[in-house]
Copies of this chain bind each other. A is one copy, B any other.
Amino acid sequence: MAEARIAVVGARGMVGAELRLVLLQRGHGEPLAFANASDCDGAEFSVAFLAVSAEAALALAPRLLAQGVRVVDCSSAFRERADVPLVVSEVNARDLAAASSARLVASPNCSATMLVLALSPLQAAFGIEHVSVATYQAVSGAGRAAVEALEAETRAQVDGMQPNASAFPQPCAFNVFPHESAIDEQSLCNEEEQKLVAESRRILGMPELPIDATCARVPVRRAHCQAVVVTLSSRASLEQVRAALQRAQGVSLHPDAGPDTASARNATARDDLLISRIRWAQSDLDKPEQDRRRVALWLACDQLRKGAALNAVQLAEAAGWI
């Protein structure tokens, strides 16, 4: 459907800009670009990528759907809606096929996307029982203002000045702090941790998979890292684990150390998930080899690209919309 007229809504944001770039790079041409949801009229296009707030997406998507537009939403607005497929293209494109009449599809949270890219091949090969993850999240997940704050604060600090008010609750330059999303009073988890758990479970089709997550911000422009420990359901050798990840789509294996190991910098502007440090969790080393089940992994992924824009475009491609 090369004739699809494509729109990007929220085109001035970080994800919006990346969507335009990915669409161009993948041969879909220059999309119509709308800065705000209020500017756009579904009569002008047939497929829309929404890179706006959940609040704006909630208002805009029904209006576009009523005009016959197919919508890929990058916000959290529809990710928990059972009638809206939540899809990572390499992991559960089956959910998109199963909902072939769906005109709205949701692209997941960036941290969930990269985590399930690593978990899914292990789930398929060995089954998985438990996941523990600590994230190292770039500031661009919080939008353009956050990246500008990191730049401005960093500049001030290298010149020996105190940073001004930040886009975050505290300065982000040369700092690490828990993810700034709201803390749920019941669970004491922040919203990012809740999304990561709920969305990963849904995408993997394991609604009760035990996942422990801690999400934190690091002073990086783009690309998140994750330290993960996965408990497998069945016996596997480390070579089999490595082979399963090596075969997986959208994933590349990297050395455990040195200039080419998986890192925020090496993941930046790349399409795939970088994995290194595939090993047994240390406490499993005290067990006989046949009893080892807990695999540790180190992940790095560009959250603006596969974590947002690229996955959204891949979903529209998989659905045959573009």
Q: Which residues of A contact B (CB under 8 A)?
A: 130, 132, 134, 136, 151, 154-155, 158, 169-171, 174-178, 180, 182-183, 187-190, 193, 197, 208, 210-214, 216, 218-221, 225, 227, 229, 256-259, 261-266, 276-283, 285-286, 294, 296, 298, 300
A15: min CB distance to chain B, Å? 19
Q: Closest residue to A137 on the B side, CB-wise? A: B176
B298 touches A214 (CB 8 A): yes
Query: Can you tell how many copies of this chain the complex includes?
Result: 2
Assess whether B282 is in contact with A189, with CB atoms less than 8 Å apart.
yes
Known: A174-B264, A263-B170. A227 touches B216 (CB 8 A): yes
Query: Interface SS of chain A: helix, strand, loop or mixed?
Result: mixed
In Å, the complex CA distance between A257 and B169 comes to 8
Q: Is the CB of B136 within 8 A of A218?
A: yes
Known A-B contacts A178-B298, A193-B282, A214-B296; the reply to A256 vs B220 at CB < 8 A is no
Known interface pairs A266-B170, A276-B178. Does A283 touch B212 (Cβ–Cβ under 8 Å)?
A: yes
List 22 interface pairs A-B (beta carbons < 8 Å), by A numbering: A134-B227, A136-B136, A151-B158, A169-B258, A170-B258, A170-B265, A174-B221, A175-B220, A175-B263, A175-B265, A176-B300, A178-B261, A178-B262, A178-B276, A188-B278, A188-B279, A190-B257, A193-B282, A208-B286, A211-B283, A214-B296, A214-B298
